[in-house]
Amino acid sequence: MKFAVIVFPGSNCDIDMYHAIKDELGEEAEYVWHDTEDLSGYDGILLPGGFSYGDYLRSGSIARFSNVMKEVVKAAEEGKPVLGVCNGFQILLEAGLLPGAMLRNKELKFMCRTVGLVVENPDTMFTSAYSKNQVIQIPIAHGEGNYYCDDTVFNDLKANNQIVFTYEGLNPNGSLGNIAGITNAKGNVLGMMPHPERAVDALLGSADGLNLFQSIVKHWRDSNVITA
């Protein structure tokens, strides 16, 4: 499986994402610059964390107008897996690929630590290697991770099982419903604030994030089985 790691000016987790795919997962990965206008050669799209365009207006609000985002939208419409982590999640929200918005953390402070995540929905292309209610250890590193949406959207997210991850115990950022990660209605676009690419080896403190990437690959292989 071949992944595109989208790189915006200000991305700072692209190398982590590349390492997770290439060295830990053993799949193909390439850095793809933000002005690229063709993603047809990739099976999966990854939007890493960082501070795209310096976050000078609102996190992700400038990056969503990059040339490559037209292709990201196209890939999502084609059903390809699209994963946005941290700033990548914020970009997906700004692009309208996921519902809701991101606010400043409740305490108005940048947070960087490992948290427990509850797997709310293991029946997605991103979570099949986990079990229902499994608690995994994944790092967070953000100043604007306070997910918000109106009551109608929130009820839809719950009704459609689009809430994939929630924070265990104390909510670190004030996110509505303890939400840490959601998918689109079709289930092929996942946005999450915690960083699974930073939890792919026990040497990093946790390897719980590797299962997420393994789930994507399993889904892709199962979907591309050639039958006689």
pLDDT band at 228 (very low <50, low <70, confident <90, very high): very low
pLDDT of residue 58: 85
Catalytic residue among 13, 34, 149, 195: 195
Catalytic residue among 71, 86, 94, 149: 86
Confidence check: pLDDT of 227 > 80: no
Measured between alpha carbons, how far is 186 from 184 in angstroms, rounded to an integer? 5
Q: Measured between alpha carbons, how far is residue 130 from residues 163, 191, 195 in Å?
A: 15, 17, 16
Total residues belonging to the chain: 228
Q: Is 120 known to be catalytic?
A: no
Does this model's pTM top 0.85? My answer is yes
Reported as a single tens digit per residue, the pLDDT across 137-181 is 999 999 999 999 999 999 999 999 999 999 999 899 999 999 999
Q: Is 142 known to be catalytic?
A: no
Cα-trace Rg, the chain = 16
pLDDT band at 83 (very low <50, low <70, confident <90, very high): very high
Catalytic residue among 27, 71, 144, 197: 197
Structural domains of the chain sorted by starting position, each given as residue range(s) with its CATH number in brackets: 2-223 (3.40.50.880)
Q: Is 78 known to be catalytic?
A: no
* Residue 50: both structure tokens together: 């960082």
Rounded mean pLDDT of the chain?
95
